Amino acid sequence: METTLAHHIAAVVAGLASGIVSEIGGAGSLISLPMLIGLGLPPSVANGTNRVGVMTQYTMGYIRYLTHRRIPHREAAILSVTLVLGAIAGAFFAVRIAGVIFNWIFIGVMILTILFTFFSPPPADRPDKTADPVGRSRLADYGIFLLLGLYCGMIQAGMAYLMYYVLVTRLHTETRTADAIKTYMSMIVTPFALAVFVWFGHIDWELGACVALGGGFGGWVGEKFVERKDTRTVKDCFMVALILSVIYMLLFVQLHFHDGIMYL
């Protein structure tokens, strides 16, 4: 695909939106990935290109966390082993699956995210009960993180929030610590999934760099919203954008709506 200045600007905007949303609550890829597909990238290439921005966002987020609070690296690294194994397998599946099937799966994820956001209450704050925030993890928990890794490697969108939800509700990790852990673990696992897309040549590096640039700035902007405790506005905008993304993916990508006619 021949890229133009408009493509590069759109990729920066996609990264910016993704960075802001990811910093506040996660799932920013649900916005950036449809935008990359809309630019004409095949789903697998858009998926791989988006990972460049994701890796930048989580790396910068991890650096910011290091300046604010302690991250339990050893405990988080233990759970990350199964997460990484799952991510590699999921990425291999993502590069081999047909684009039309991936799009339907992605649309399903977006719809589930909308329903989950509307009907599921956020995890309640939990006090820090132990010096080892993941010390109570059981064999089943490693299986859960293996499944999370599979999802991360295949789609990735909303991965950080899913990890946060499991850490808080199942492992009873203190909420601020869980937030730091999910950022650290996301930073660890993303390069492994990215490497699979690189191996198969499913990355547009020019657009990936633009997404990374926008994502880095978007993370900084999102952090300012968090500091001002004005996250509701961004979340409302995210829901509107997500609904529009679902409509776009259904009508113009899957059903090929053109000139008032649906082409299956």
Please tell me the distance from the alpha carbon of residue 188 to that of residue 134, in angstroms, as a whole number: 17
State how far Cα 12 lies from the chain centre.
16
Q: Supply the pTM of this predicted model.
A: 0.83
User: What is the Cα–Cα distance from 250 to 261, expressed in whole angstroms?
Assistant: 13
| Whether 24 contacts 234, CB under 8 Å | yes
CA 85, CA 157: separation in Å to the nearest integer? 18
Closest to 94 measured CA to CA, from 52, 143, 43: 43
pLDDT tens, position by position, for the chain (264 residues)? 677 888 899 899 988 888 887 777 667 888 888 889 888 899 899 999 999 988 888 888 788 777 766 677 777 788 888 999 999 999 999 999 888 888 888 888 888 887 876 766 665 555 555 445 555 557 788 888 999 999 999 988 888 888 888 888 887 788 778 878 888 888 899 999 999 999 999 999 999 999 999 888 887 777 776 666 655 666 677 777 778 888 888 876 766 554 444 444
